[in-house]
Structure 1
């Protein structure tokens, strides 16, 4: 559905050239929610603006549903953009227009008939849960309600693709969760493909199928969300995962505990996260377990957990316990002193 092929984008500031994107490629499949995460300055906002050519690449190609946007005429590009909705952090609502007008006027400007406009505005306000707010003004709405209006406006053009540029960053945690649930509903019920950017791992965790991690204009790691949670390879990816699963343990504590047995990082996915494995090994083998840190969360389609635990016992009994955990689908990694405080 969305293909970005070897995208490079440079900006000139005076005599200096700044490379915002450096040979970036990714593919978003039809019907999925694909997340791009990175810290400030990583290039993710520039990347998402490539998907509808709000920013033209210096080199590379942007393909939407088989059409190369960089080769389209201005008129053809304008029509193609009508099939690509976009929502922003700042809502971009006109304060002097009602909710109805904020959605209706862009439709009128693209030539949609008045009767169809009424039908669409009602339909998409119902979908976002604001059917009773058609005649109010933006300043009478909460931040979450304003974002719902912005989403309804984007959906009213009945796009195949929805782009989200940090759409939840200005919202409180509860409202963020409500908007994420709405995006999930839109994806599942309307079949709309979503490409979103964020700096919050919580957003990736809740609704994304796949994710790309960006740093300094490059994609440093990408794949299914559960894979990046399970085996993050790049240091930046590990930092994002650790924001959900804090596992830092002071180095001196690791050294002291390891005298009596190993410290293990345990990763649980799916049914393994729902099984009382630690309780079983404590009862079955002559060992004691002590959980040092960890968390269990719900990804979009998986239960996922990470625990750091100290196992006290003989080498023989500890080995049996580790073999049991591995047999239950738990990923086991022994911690050393370099895995303490970063």
Structure 2
């Protein structure tokens, strides 16, 4: 559906050239929700603006529905953009226009007749849950409602692709959850492919099928969301994953615990919270597992949990127990003393 091949983009600043993108390639499949995450300055905003050529890359190809947009004429590019909707962090609503007109005016500019415009506005306001806000003005809406209007406006052009540029960054946690649920609904019921960028890992874990991690204009890691959570490779990716967990153990306590056994982090998927596996371990081996900390986060299709556990007992028995857990598809990692005062990984 979307394929970026060797995309590079450089801006000329007061202090010299700024390399926003460096030979970036990624592929978004039809019908999936693909997330791009990175800290400020990573290049993700430039990347998403290259997809509909709001920013034209210096080099590389932007292929959407098997057509390289960089090779289209101005008129053909305008037509191709009709299949690509976009929502922004700042909503970009007309302050002096009603909710209805914010959606209707862009449709009128495309040449749709009055009846078609009315039908589309009604349809998409209903989908986003604002069918009773036709005559309201942006100043009368909450941040979440404004974003819903922006989403309805993007959907009203009936695109096959929806680009989301930090669409939840200005919203509170509860409103963010509601918008993410709406994006899931749009993806599932309308079959729209969604490419989003964010600096919030909770957005990735809640709705994305796959994710790319960016840093300094490059994709440093990419894969299925589940795989990124299970086995992050790059230090920046690990930092993002660990941001969802708050396990902290003081170094002096960790040192003391390791004298009577071993402290380890257990990572697992599925509905189980991990206790049944530990119960089996305590019965099968002569050790005493003690949960020091734990949390579970929900990914798009399943849960992912971490437990920090102190295994007390004979080293040989602990080794057998850990191997048992690994054989049971539980990822087991030791906790270093140098990591004790930060997040356990």
Q: Normalized against structure 1, the TM-score is what?
A: 0.97
> Counterpart of 1:41?
41
User: Which range moves more in the overlay, 286-295 or 174-183?
Assistant: 286-295
Mapped partners of 2:36, 2:94: distance in 1? 29
> Counterpart of 1:250?
250
4+ residue segments displaced more than 6 Å = none
Mapped partners of 1:214, 1:115: distance in 2? 44
> Counterpart of 1:198?
198
Q: What is the CA distance between 1:159 and its match in structure 2?
A: 0.2
Mapped partners of 2:293, 2:24: distance in 1? 36
Mapped partners of 1:269, 1:152: distance in 2? 35
What SS does the aligned partner of 1:276 have? helix
Q: What is the CA distance between 1:289 and its match in structure 2?
A: 1.7
Q: What is the CA distance between 1:270 and its match in structure 2?
A: 2.1
Mapped partners of 1:325, 1:273: distance in 2? 14
Give yes or no for the alignment of 1:71 onto 2:71.
yes
Structure 1 contact 37–214 (Cα < 8 Å) conserved: yes
User: Which range moves more in the overlay, 129-138 or 173-182?
Assistant: 129-138
Structure 2 contact 274–307 (Cα < 8 Å) conserved: no
> Counterpart of 1:58?
58
Q: What is the CA distance between 1:283 and its match in structure 2?
A: 3.6
> Counterpart of 2:85?
85
Mapped partners of 1:240, 1:311: distance in 2? 27
Mapped partners of 2:165, 2:130: distance in 1? 22
Structure 2 contact 82–157 (Cα < 8 Å) conserved: yes
Q: What is the CA distance between 1:249 and its match in structure 2?
A: 2.7
What SS does the aligned partner of 1:341 have? coil
> Counterpart of 1:141?
141
Mapped partners of 1:250, 1:218: distance in 2? 35
Mapped partners of 2:53, 2:293: distance in 1? 45
> Counterpart of 2:169?
169
Q: What is the CA distance between 1:272 and its match in structure 2?
A: 5.4
Structure 2 contact 35–212 (Cα < 8 Å) conserved: yes
What SS does the aligned partner of 1:82 have? helix
> Counterpart of 2:104?
104
Give yes or no for the alignment of 1:331 onto 2:331.
yes
1:145-182 per-residue CA deviation (whole Å, 9 max, x = no partner) reads 00000000000000000000000001000000000000
> Counterpart of 2:236?
236
What SS does the aligned partner of 2:76 have? helix
Mapped partners of 2:31, 2:341: distance in 1? 40
Q: What is the CA distance between 1:288 and its match in structure 2?
A: 1.5
Q: What is the CA distance between 1:319 and its match in structure 2?
A: 2.4
> Counterpart of 2:291?
291
1:29-85 per-residue CA deviation (whole Å, 9 max, x = no partner) reads 000000001111111111110110000001111010101010000000001111100
Q: What is the CA distance between 1:14 and its match in structure 2?
A: 4.2
Q: What is the CA distance between 1:274 and its match in structure 2?
A: 6.0
What SS does the aligned partner of 1:117 have? helix
1:195-220 per-residue CA deviation (whole Å, 9 max, x = no partner) reads 00001000001000000111111111
Q: Normalized against structure 2, the TM-score is what?
A: 0.96
Mapped partners of 1:98, 1:64: distance in 2? 33
Gap regions ≥5 residues in structure 2: none
What SS does the aligned partner of 2:19 have? strand
Mapped partners of 2:229, 2:63: distance in 1? 29
User: Which range moves more in the overlay, 224-233 or 281-290?
Assistant: 281-290
Aligned-residue Cα RMSD (Å) equals 1.4
Count of matched residue pairs: 342
Mapped partners of 1:96, 1:293: distance in 2? 52
What SS does the aligned partner of 2:310 have? strand
Mapped partners of 1:49, 1:333: distance in 2? 39
Mapped partners of 2:245, 2:229: distance in 1? 10
> Counterpart of 1:277?
277
